[in-house]
Chains A and B, each alone.
Chain A
């Protein structure tokens, strides 16, 4: 039995990729997830543990239970199809960043203590930003920087929370934390919340992901939010506040997604919406709900990856991903169209596709726990998913009016990657028992009964009807080149504008004060010039004078405070 933290395999692969080219590199890219997956399957079983001591702390780099193992498999699968999808890319930094990123995600889900979790949390942030920066456009550089600041903010909150938690409880172990842990609990929850894109903390996602490279977005969509979902499931299962947050997350992105023009940004909003289902499941906290949350994470990575890949293929071929400029692409890219539709059916939770078998668990748990109103809101959210992701994405990209764009089918490696993901979607959807066997909690649940299937079909058909009717009536929001205001407006517009205004007010005030003083001083100056002292006047340069002022001011303050005993 070899016990080795799986992230090491990925880091080794990242190192190897940095120094190889061509075929060798492609082999390594594909071998890393396959080898790691097999390694997890064969050698790692619940209960395995690897510890490492640093800074007088015992770090648990490998702690295995069914929950972490499920995410371990998932991340290997995701990086496998993402690897195939990016085989044609020659940019070394993207491959290295992608592998380090995926490895850090594996490291995070197998971390047994808060410090190792924090370490991988930071590495996730830093490695992933290169996937955005690699696009190389001015927009991508700026968006990447904003993304990085958000991610590091999440990291420092986690660090602060962890340190307070350790000093309160004396334990580093990462198990259930809960909000009873006080300040520490809240800090850690917000740290997790940023990475899982809670409302108002989500803008890094919709801002950063659409700016990443074609392959970068596929990789990004798989890991960051899922690591956060894993952490929430472990640390905050059953916290009621998560239900409210989750439902909000499932609902509000719908409106943005419907009016958004950049189709990859539509998918980014849809990602938040799907994470909302998971967060709700975690908030409910029953075995069924938690199983539903992680199962949905599993299927979401695959179908969201598939959708991002199909949009990536379009972007790769057409160099444009705005809904308003696309249309009619099914003529040139029939295979991509078909695979995209499989993804769309999965995300809309059509029976026999993967979304159905996982999402229905969360919905059932909501009903079982008497959250009727939330159940209705989630139904609305489900209908919304079908609208913006199930219909809008394939419709505006591949059908709609013919834009006249004629291009080639996606490259073979992209098609293979999409086919793998699509096959998995159908497989999970039609044979859910294999996924259910992996789930961490014991639950007897089967999605294919009459009520579920009928309810879901009704929902989908009426939703489709609504789309068709709205479209016919011309009521459906048209695809426009526009900027939609989101919470990021606060820091991208309001804050700079506010800061400018404050600075202007301050400088105005300063100017008027300075004018008053100078007129006074000029009066004195004239007197001074007449006096014999004037010839000793020395012009002084700014820093020296200012420094002398500061040193005397500080000495004066120090002595005054001391005199009145204020320091005591």
Chain B
């Protein structure tokens, strides 16, 4: 039973998706999606538990033996990422009900949940599979679903945003596919384990290096590495609130996972050192942290502000990868988890504001903190976590990142990480100032607190932010174990 969980995690949402599409309008599709997401979260939890206790799990699809058949191969690293994706989905879906009813035309709601489940299928599939071509397939499933989801946004600009993301995302995926093709031409295999065994003997071919370059750049676009982030602000800003929450907390995280897997496990130990990949990550990470944070300060749309902040946060994760050390990758993974918590909570709070006033521009939210104290509280905690104040999850990330940078004697990176949190103070401060200290407008006085159905999921993430700021056994423990698995990290 134990190793079938990996397959169930992909199959259950995949089967549920078309069912949700044909269910009658009303709340049934939502209910189905909710149940499916919760089941997935439980399964992912069990899977992580199994992996931590019993070691790597392998499942052969259709009974075909690897390397000919597709293999699902689960270790602490992907079980961890799958858990993040599934849990965020299980928390986002209850939240989605009200905000989707308000933002999406009624006849499209079954399709909305269907697309959301497909997106979940794709993201979970990427984490489960042990086959590099299969990764591409799931990448496309999740991407196509997310283009559809983004285009459902209320603003007409959502179409343009989705279209742009479609073009750019496809370019990224194509780059990835070209890279996979090049590697296949040299190794003749697509199974990660098998490719990893063959690669050392063919490393001297330029084809392999070129393939590596294509894969890196393709994934870099998917994880919104600066300056390949241009699709992200529009996509996050104009997507429906629930979609923004889900994508911001999961999509880029899964791309980071793929990056780690390929960089340190597919390619042999020390290979990354011989390519410019690490320099690329450190330079873009640093540029991303600073430039995207500065952009965030000057945004007048709060969703966009947080979107730029996400680009900056991706910079932190990439910086950790760029150190190419166990400590660096550990920090990166910890931040991956914690960032899902903080951005999830923040985007949910913004979604609650949009639910009440139908807008999210800086000047329209003046003084709303007093009318919506709980939502405001969530923004304060999420913001503090984003800054990295002690006692919140963000502090744990900052701590491990700075430690990893000091270990590498990378003083510029240390300075940039710390400077980045100063910039975060400014943009979070702007948000809090507008919400709480600006005088309330007349329309703002009539606003009521968000309904419980929005507050409960929001606060489950808010408390997670505080909990994982104090108890770091799960995050740090699993991240360290996962980083240790990536044998290809140079010492």
Binding site for B on A (CB under 8 A): 54-56, 118-119, 122-123, 126, 133, 136, 141, 145, 148-149, 152-153, 156-157, 159-160, 163-164, 167, 541, 543-544, 546-548, 550-551, 554-555, 557-559, 561-562, 565-568
Contacts and interface: CB of A to CB of B under 8 A. Distances in A.
B391 interface: yes
A55 B390 contact: no
A366 B104 CA distance: 75
Contacts of B426: 145, 149
Contacts of A562: 209, 213, 275-276
Most buried by A among B234, B433, B476: B433
Nearest to A140: B437
Nearest to B227: A550
A566 B437 CA distance: 52
Given A55-B476, A148-B429, A555-B175, A126 B389 contact: yes
A472 B453 CA distance: 73
Contacts of A55: 396, 399, 472, 476
B390 A118 contact: yes
A457 B87 CA distance: 74
Nearest to A118: B390
A54 B392 CA distance: 12
Contacts of A541: 160, 164
Interface stretch (B247-255, B414-422, B458-466): B414-422
B284 to A, nearest CB: 8
A153 B422 contact: yes
Given A157-B418, A551-B221, A546 B437 contact: no
Given A145-B426, A544-B167, A126 B231 contact: no
A163 B407 CA distance: 10
A156 B472 CA distance: 21
B491 interface: no
A557 B283 CA distance: 13
A558 B426 CA distance: 34
A90 to B, nearest CB: 15
A167 B406 contact: yes
Contacts of B470: 54
Given A156-B421, A160-B414, A543-B230, A119 B437 contact: no
Contacts of A148: 425, 429
Contacts of B425: 148-149, 152
A558 B437 contact: no
A123 B389 CA distance: 8
Nearest to A543: B230
Nearest to A133: B437
A93 to B, nearest CB: 8
A160 B401 CA distance: 11
A567 B278 contact: yes
B103 to A, nearest CB: 24
B402 interface: yes
Given A163-B406, A167-B406, A562-B275, 14 more contacts: A54-B472, A56-B472, A123-B390, A164-B406, A547-B228, A548-B168, A548-B171, A551-B221, A554-B280, A557-B276, A562-B213, A562-B276, A565-B274, A567-B274
A554 B422 contact: no
B116 interface: no
B155 interface: no
Nearest to B432: A133
B422 A156 contact: yes
B328 to A, nearest CB: 14
B279 interface: yes
B44 interface: no
B171 A551 contact: yes
B321 to A, nearest CB: 15
B319 interface: no
Contacts of B216: 558
Contacts of A118: 390
B384 interface: yes
B277 interface: yes
A550 B221 CA distance: 10
A55 B331 CA distance: 13
Given A119-B391, A551-B171, A156 B418 contact: yes
B97 interface: no
B125 to A, nearest CB: 25
A37 to B, nearest CB: 26
B4 interface: no
Contacts of B414: 160
19 contacts: A54-B470, A56-B472, A145-B429, A148-B425, A160-B406, A167-B406, A544-B164, A544-B168, A547-B171, A547-B231, A550-B230, A551-B217, A551-B228, A555-B217, A561-B276, A562-B275, A567-B273, A567-B275, A567-B276
A69 to B, nearest CB: 24
Most buried by A among B209, B419, B437, B470: B437
B402 A547 contact: no
Contacts of B277: 558, 567
B205 to A, nearest CB: 13
B437 A152 contact: no
B102 to A, nearest CB: 28
A289 to B, nearest CB: 33
B326 to A, nearest CB: 15
Contacts of B471: 54
Interface string B207-251: 001100110110011000001101100100000000000000000
A153 B423 CA distance: 10
Nearest to B403: A163
Contacts of A543: 164, 168, 230-231, 234
Contacts of A547: 164, 168, 171, 221, 228, 230-231
A118 B391 CA distance: 11
Nearest to B233: A543
Given A152-B387, A567-B275, A167 B164 contact: no
A566 B422 contact: no
A443 B221 CA distance: 68
A108 to B, nearest CB: 12
B172 interface: yes
A554 B274 contact: no
Nearest to B423: A149
Nearest to A152: B425
Contact of B402 (A123, A152, A160): A160
A122 B390 CA distance: 7
Contact of A559 (B167, B210, B220, B419): B210
B480 to A, nearest CB: 10
A152 B422 contact: yes
Contacts of B230: 543, 546-547, 550
A274 B213 CA distance: 61
Interface string B160-177: 100010011001100100
Nearest to B166: A544
A118 B398 CA distance: 13
Contact of A141 (B279, B406, B437): B437
Interface in B421-471: 421-422, 425-426, 429-430, 433, 437, 470-471
